[in-house]
């Protein structure tokens, strides 16, 4: 048996985004050529929870030996071939316990970190590379604090992981939002309607603000600023009158709230293991109220609404150019750090340059839009000024 430099584990957690497979490919190809063994952990942190530390056990649903052939084939595609979950090992409900642990964990909520550490040792993993948003990476920080060598890679459609200007998946999200908004214009214009599109963004409004800045919409509402629905109705009515095709467009972040009801809207009461309920419904509410208010600003005539939640349409399919290049660079950055003997870092893109920061930045602060700098609250639009020396995506730096 050929001796290796060590074993690297890779996992993807949280929501899928285009660019995950290119990141896994970049890590794996470089690591194998540097003399490491690479193991994929399946279904995010769930793979490390469900794994049975027994050589005779079948753990094929939890771990996967990675090869160049496997990752080269998958690296051209979207999603994550390692699969993903929103499992949080430090707060695991009894209903999610694997069968082999049900006799030893009898609490309603269990911290399975000791079991995860045991399983990492069983797999012989020297360095773990979690790829995810702040929820997934917050548990990566926990393992780092427990002594595990961790190098984190940021990904999220919302682009809201602190410490980096860019997260894998954001460019494709913006690209698809612009493309789908322009396609839906044909229906809105044909019927002379308002077009209301709900987009991702629980706490940060980047995925609504940036497409609007690029000309996809007339107005946008974001989580960082509770909006007045009558103000929005008046502005969209003005936009509609100025448009030769007699329609107007607004992008609505899923986490946006109205000034008279400053609570997010959820699909139900069920929360995931990180305490997040599934958002959904603000676009529907905006559409209903715009329709009701429209006669006030349109000579007594009601304006109907084309209402669409873009949702998974912007996170499915293949990555765009940015989400093919950045994951490649992030994966190689992670390997550079491993070769240097460094751990406890988050690879990042800051001020146009690839870099890395301490992993504890992921829980140190929230990364949200600077409303005073980038959002015109009077016009419910981005601020179009001071572009000199701004990062590529304008308002996404938190430095």
Positive or negative CA dihedral for 345, 144, 116, 160? negative
Output the pLDDT for position 105. Answer: 85
158 annotated active-site: yes
Task: Note every long-range contact of 333-338, with CB atoms under 8 Å and residues 24 or more positions apart, other chains counting.
Answer: 334/27, 334/129, 334/151, 334/153, 335/27, 335/30, 335/31, 335/34, 337/151, 338/8, 338/31, 338/36, 338/127, 338/151
Positive or negative CA dihedral for 76, 77, 79, 80? negative
Cα(219)–Cα(241) distance, integer angstroms: 14
**194-199 and 353-358 beta bridge pairing:** unpaired
Output the pLDDT for position 35. Answer: 97
263-299 pLDDT per residue, tens? 666 566 666 666 656 566 899 999 999 999 999 999 9
Query: pTM of the prediction?
Result: 0.93
Q: Write the DSSP assignment of 208-243 as a string of letters.
A: HHHHHHTTS-SEEE-TTS-B-HHHHHHHHHHHHHHS
Query: How confident is the chain (399 residues) per 10-residue block, as mean pLDDT?
Result: 84 96 98 97 97 95 97 94 96 91 86 96 98 96 98 96 96 97 97 97 95 97 97 98 97 93 64 62 95 97 97 94 97 98 96 94 93 96 88 76
Active site residue: 158, 160, 165, 398, which one?
A: 158
SS3 10: strand
Output the pLDDT for position 267. Answer: 61
Structural domains in the chain, CATH included, are: 7-168+317-363 (3.40.50.450), 172-313+370-382 (3.40.50.460)
Q: What angle do CA 58, 59, 65 make, to 5 degrees?
A: 120
């Amino acid at each position: 048996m050929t001796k290796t430099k060590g074993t690297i584990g890779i996992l993807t957690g949280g929501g899928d985004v285009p660019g995950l497979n290119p990141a896994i490919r970049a890590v794996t190809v470089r690591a194998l050529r540097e003399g490491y063994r690479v193991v994929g952990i399946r279904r995010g942190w769930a793979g490390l929870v469900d794994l049975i530390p027994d050589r005779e056990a079948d753990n094929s649903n939890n771990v996967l030996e990675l090869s160049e052939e496997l990752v080269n084939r998958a690296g051209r595609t979207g999603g994550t071939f390692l699969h993903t979950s929103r499992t949080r090992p430090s707060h695991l409900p009894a209903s999610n316990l694997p069968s082999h642990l049900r006799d030893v964990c009898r609490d309603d909520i269990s911290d399975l970190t000791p079991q995860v550490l045991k399983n990492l040792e069983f797999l012989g993993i020297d360095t773990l590379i979690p790829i995810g948003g702040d929820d997934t990476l917050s548990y990566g920080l926990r393992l780092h604090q427990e002594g595990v060598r961790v190098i984190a890679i940021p990904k999220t459609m919302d682009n809201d992981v602190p410490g980096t200007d860019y997260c894998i998946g954001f460019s494709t999200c913006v690209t698809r939002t612009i493309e789908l908004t322009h396609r839906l214009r044909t229906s809105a214009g044909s019927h002379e309607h308002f077009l209301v599109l709900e987009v991702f963004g629980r706490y940060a409004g980047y995925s609504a603000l940036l497409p609007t800045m690029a000309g996809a919409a007339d107005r946008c509402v974001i989580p960082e600023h509770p909006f007045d629905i009558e103000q929005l109705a008046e502005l969209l009515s003005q936009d509609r009158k100025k448009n030769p095709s007699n329609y107007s467009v607004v992008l609505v972040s899923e986490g946006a709230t109205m000034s008279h009801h400053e609570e997010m809207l959820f699909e139900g009461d069920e929360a995931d293991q990180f305490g997040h309920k599934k958002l959904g419904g603000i676009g529907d509410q905006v559409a209903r109220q715009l329709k009701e208010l429209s006669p006030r600003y349109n000579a007594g005539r009601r304006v109907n609404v084309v209402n669409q939640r873009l949702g998974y349409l912007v996170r499915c399919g293949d990555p765009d150019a940015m989400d093919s290049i950045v994951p490649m660079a992030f994966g190689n950055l992670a390997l550079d750090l491993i070769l240097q003997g460094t751990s406890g870092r988050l690879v990042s893109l800051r001020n146009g340059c690839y870099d890395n920061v301490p992993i504890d930045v992921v829980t140190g602060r929230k990364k949200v839009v600077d409303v005073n700098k980038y959002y015109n609250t009077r016009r419910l639009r981005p601020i179009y000024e001071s572009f000199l020396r701004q990062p590529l995506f304008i308002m996404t730096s938190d430095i």
